[in-house]
Structure 1
Amino acid sequence: MATSKTASQKAKATVERYRDLQDRRRVADRRHKQSKPKQAMQAGMRHYPEPPLPLQHQSKPGDEARLDPTPLYDAPYYQGSNKLRDKVALITGGDSGIGRSIAVLFAREGADIAIVHLDEQADAEITRQAVEAEGRRCLVIAGDVADRTFCFDAVARTVKELGRLDVLVNNAAFQLHALRLEDLDAQQFDRTIRTNLHGYFFMAQAAVPHMRPGSAIVNNGSVAGLRGSKFLLDYSMTKGGIHAFTRALAGQLVPRGIRVNAVAPGPVWTPLNPADKEAEQVAQFGSEMPMKRPAQPEEVAPAFVFLASPHCSSYITGEILPVIGGY
């Protein structure tokens, strides 16, 4: 009986401790709610724009020179260290956005660059000048990656004019929202599939025969391919397909010494979204992320350097690297 009474007293004491902890937590929570919220985390070497962004909308494919604020792609604090010395990289969608920043950082790491773009000549010229300012050559090729013949011609021209091909970055993409499944017509669906899947496949098919052991393919996936995006059904499908393509092709190319990986970015401030969403949505672009802002291209491009360079990722293939701001 005495033992039972002692156990009961201990149980009551435990309950009191529970309630004491609960009371202290309640006081701490109240104090936290009354305190002034902290600024959203920046984490970079310089200040990055946060929503609300200026109201704007563009016609496709988008013009980086007209974006406000101008995307930050040049990564002035990034120091190259010959991670891609004397290699040749072909980057689709290399005229603007993430593609432009990849081109600049690859050049800073010692690579000559070929960029493929659709019809954005002014943007492509800026990229060419930025690459050449790093002391490397830049070949600019205009065309549609959905066209298999063009993909093979672009690779052949790269090899002929730059001498080799060591890195392929599949980056070009088409995105257009649809609020309802019924609104997503066959023409849009076909264009998304052809650009985002056919383009990646054709470019890889053209490039691989020219690649030597130690080469790399880096595909640009998306958080939409990891989590889905309810108003980007076709785009999400293709990005998920790119992730699966990455893993499958990596397995096939292991015996040939070619690594294949993907980067899956979250929202990034490039022409892609202002050339899709309405101005009011563009103003809040990236605000739903834990960091409360979209990434800038220069914050994503180093992930492509990492996966392209055998100095950094020689034992990595078939992986999807998310760069999604804590989402």
Structure 2
Amino acid sequence: MAHPAPILVTGAAGFVGQAVASRLLARGEQVIGLDNFNAYYDVALKEARVAQVAADPRFTMVRGDVADAGLVAGLVAEHGIRRIAHLAAQAGVRYSIDHPLTYGHANLQGHLSVLEAARHAPGGCAHLVYASSSSVYGDRPLTGQGFREDDPCVAPVSLYAATKRSCELMSQSYATLYGLPQSGLRFFTVYGPWGRPDMAYFGFTRKILAGETIDVFGEGRMARDFTFIDDIVDGVVGVLDRPPQAGGHRLLNIGDNQPVGLMEMIAALEAELGVRAARRMLPMQPGDVTATFADISAIQQLTGYRPQVRLAEGLKRFVLWYRDYHGIAAPAAVA
């Protein structure tokens, strides 16, 4: 399904951005990647991700700030870009407590920068797909019903969540005013190889292998709809290929539809690592939510999206990658 015009992927050195760029390249697309390689977490990991695709002649990496409206507009105009996967953002719920202005710049200004570039695309924007977050749903109890896209999203418990909901509202205004076709994807706890070190499963792995105590927030009562990176990419690319009609703006959950308790995740990780973790049980941190649970019927109906990788298998793949990336030998097999 390759097209002659390149696709702009913002956040191309990030976890999801690089994985999406890689998938697009694999099917013959040209990709312009944009990322500022900020130091929120280990920049060497971002460089290593990009190195996986840098040799492909159809890939161009641009180092710059997505909030630089002139830069983004220039890229769209110069390369005749008509499709955008806007995956750049300042991530992290807890980080937003202490660094609020960073979120205003990267998330709000960055999103507006992309909207303006798409609005003025010389050939017209065929589709803008952007990353939102399950955090927009606020803190809700876990029931047998998944979070639905038409559920109220009026009580964010973190600034990060507030910026993501704000981006959705900005996108709706641009769809209404300018007929800009858009799809906002509400991601649910993405994990897997090449993932973000600030995520719990990643930090737990590092500490468990180092013999350190892990901090278990919410007294272990939290649950997350863990979604493997390959499944996320299936959804992102599937949606990108199916733009709404001009003026259409839709919001879609992209998750696993199988929430897992935090203690169950830790047990699965311990089993894979072959090590029992020392645990320190702590209360929930400001900005955290109790549970996430994606109703994925809308994206399924649109694209046929079906998550394939269950948590135990996904953690196995992550641990294999983690050991390889850090040069950590696997434990000897028991005779």
Aligned to 2:329: none
Among 196, 210, 233, the alignment partner of 1:301 is: 233
Structure 1 residues 303 and 252, CA, compared in 2 at 3 Å: closer, same or farther?
Answer: farther
Compare CA radii of gyration and give the structure with the larger one.
Answer: 1
Q: Distance in 1 between matches of 2:165 and 2:13?
A: 24
Equivalent position amino acid for 2:66 in 1: V
Equivalent position amino acid for 2:110 in 1: G
Aligned to 1:323: 254
- Conservation of the 8 A alpha-carbon contact between 1:176 and 1:232: no
Structure 1 residues not aligned, in runs of 5+? 1-81
Q: Deviations over 1:134-185 (max 9, x none)?
A: xx61111122323xxx34224424643xx31111222112234449xxx935
Q: Deviations over 1:109-130 (max 9, x none)?
A: 4321111122246634643643
User: Structure 1 vs Structure 2: percent identity of aligned residues?
Assistant: 14
Among 250, 266, 272, the alignment partner of 2:188 is: 266
- Conservation of the 8 A alpha-carbon contact between 2:129 and 2:240: yes
Structure 1 residues 277 and 296, CA, compared in 2 at 3 Å: closer, same or farther?
Answer: closer
Among 101, 108, 133, the alignment partner of 1:197 is: 108
Bigger proportion of residues as strand: 2
With normalisation by structure 1, the TM-score equals 0.58
Aligned to 1:289: 224
Residues 166-181 of structure 1: matches in 2 within 5 Å?
166-178=82-94
Q: Distance in 2 between matches of 1:132 and 1:283?
A: 41
Structure 1 residues 247 and 228, CA, compared in 2 at 3 Å: closer, same or farther?
Answer: farther
Aligned to 1:97: 15
Aligned to 2:160: 235
Structure 1 residue 222 corresponds to structure 2 residue 133: yes
Aligned to 1:164: 80
Residues 38-117 of structure 1: matches in 2 within 5 Å?
82=1, 84-117=2-35
Q: Tell me how far 1:262 sits from its aligned partner.
A: 0.7
Bigger proportion of residues as helix: 1
With normalisation by structure 2, the TM-score equals 0.57
- Conservation of the 8 A alpha-carbon contact between 2:30 and 2:59: yes
Q: Distance in 1 between matches of 2:216 and 2:126?
A: 38
Structure 2 residues not aligned, in runs of 5+? 38-42, 141-154, 205-213, 258-292, 294-335
Structure 1 residues 125 and 273, CA, compared in 2 at 3 Å: closer, same or farther?
Answer: closer
Q: Distance in 2 between matches of 1:236 and 1:272?
A: 20
Q: Distance in 1 between matches of 2:28 and 2:221?
A: 33
Q: Deviations over 1:45-95 (max 9, x none)?
A: xxxxxxxxxxxxxxxxxxxxxxxxxxxxxxxxxxxxx1x422311111111
Structure with more relative contact order (C-alpha pairs < 8 Å, separation 6 or more): 1
Q: Distance in 1 between matches of 2:53 and 2:26?
A: 10
Q: Distance in 1 between matches of 2:105 and 2:118?
A: 18
